[in-house]
Structure 1
Amino acid sequence: MPVLRSAAPADADAVTAVHLASRAAAMPWLPVVHTPAETRWWVEHVVLTQLRTWVAVSGDDVLGFVAVDDGRLEQLYLRPDRRRQGLGTLLFRQAQQAEPAGFTFAVFARNAPARAFYERLGCRVVARSDGRGNEEREPDITYAWRP
């Protein structure tokens, strides 16, 4: 099983690669609204500096990451070849430890595998939107996890 550690600035390229590959594989229908360079900037200057972020690693390879902030699960992404191996649950459990009072997060409505994953972990739907509030303009669902 991979180990979790706090993300470091040196992880920016690997975290960006995981983010881009995961979104492309899991949501090929999702509009791409940022270039890879813009995504890399966001990872370096937001995900790794403004959020509490952990990476799952095997040796030097970053396999996935999770980021939380003040009652929100902001990011949880896995390399596509690491899905359905327990890694997502490991990262989700880290988010639970980091935010023991609970958290909310959004999932695109069409992302049925992600929705099923979170529902298996006990998350519940608390709101739905038509997508006007996100950059992709894609309907989403707000979930909550409560202990």
Structure 2
Amino acid sequence: MTDHESGRPPTTAPAGVRLRQAGPADAEAVARVFLESRAAAMPYLPRVHSDADTLAWITHVVLPTSTGVWVAEQEGEGGEVLGFAVLAGVDELDHLYLRPDSLRRGIGSRLLAEVRGAAGGGLSLYVFQRNAAARAFYERHGFTAVAYDDGARNEENEPDVLYRWVP
């Protein structure tokens, strides 16, 4: 459901960017942001799925089954999707990705604030241990590392850090 369909106005973000609920029509753009962001920020990750499989996962799993999915898009007709965030369950920030050319503009902070508001309480998330930029971002936003693992819980077999934020 889009913000328009829910009767809520789109959420404002940094100048020229707006946030809104994602819908089925956003699947390709969300998949593109996911793939571009991971390739740029984490080139060490193995590619465990094809682009087509990633699109199918976004289309048939992420968008329809998540508690909430928000996109940040350039304002104006046909605005490009610059990033997205996913709330799974009541307290898991499952994904927050930005296009590489959209970093350090306040967009990630605004998406995170949107997810925090929807969760209504604390949030947890996993971050790859080697993803220093993401870890620094979450730590700046008050998240604390609460557990470390060896990567056995994710497809990439990449060691994770579990972060928790409590209001």
TM-score by length of 1: 0.98
- Equivalent residue number for residue 143 of structure 1: 163
- Equivalent residue number for residue 52 of structure 2: 37
The within-5 A match list for 1:115-134 is: 115-134=135-154
Amino acid at match of 1:107: V
By how many angstroms is 1:46 displaced?
1.3
- Which one of the candidate residues 103, 110, 118 is aligned to 1:83? 103
CA distances 1:76-108 after superposition (whole Å, capped 9, x unpaired):
000000001111101110110011211111000
Distance 2:62 2:103 in 1: 22
Q: Which consecutive unaligned segments of at least 5 residues does structure 1 have?
A: none
Bigger Rg, which one: 2
The within-5 A match list for 1:85-104 is: 85-104=105-124
Q: Please give the root-mean-square deviation of Cα atoms over the aligned residues, in Å.
A: 0.7
Distance 1:47 1:86 in 2: 24
Q: Which consecutive unaligned segments of at least 5 residues does structure 2 have?
A: 1-13
TM-score by length of 2: 0.86
Distance 2:61 2:69 in 1: 10
- Which one of the candidate residues 103, 113, 120 is aligned to 2:133? 113
The within-5 A match list for 1:50-65 is: 50-51=65-66, 52-58=68-74, 59=76, 60-65=79-84
Aligned positions, number: 147
Distance 1:35 1:12 in 2: 15
Q: Secondary structure at the match of 2:65?
A: coil
Distance 2:122 2:61 in 1: 22
Structure with the bigger RCO (C-alpha within 8 Å, sep 6+) is: 1
Same amino acid, percent of matched pairs: 52
Q: Secondary structure at the match of 1:48?
A: helix
Amino acid at match of 1:54: W
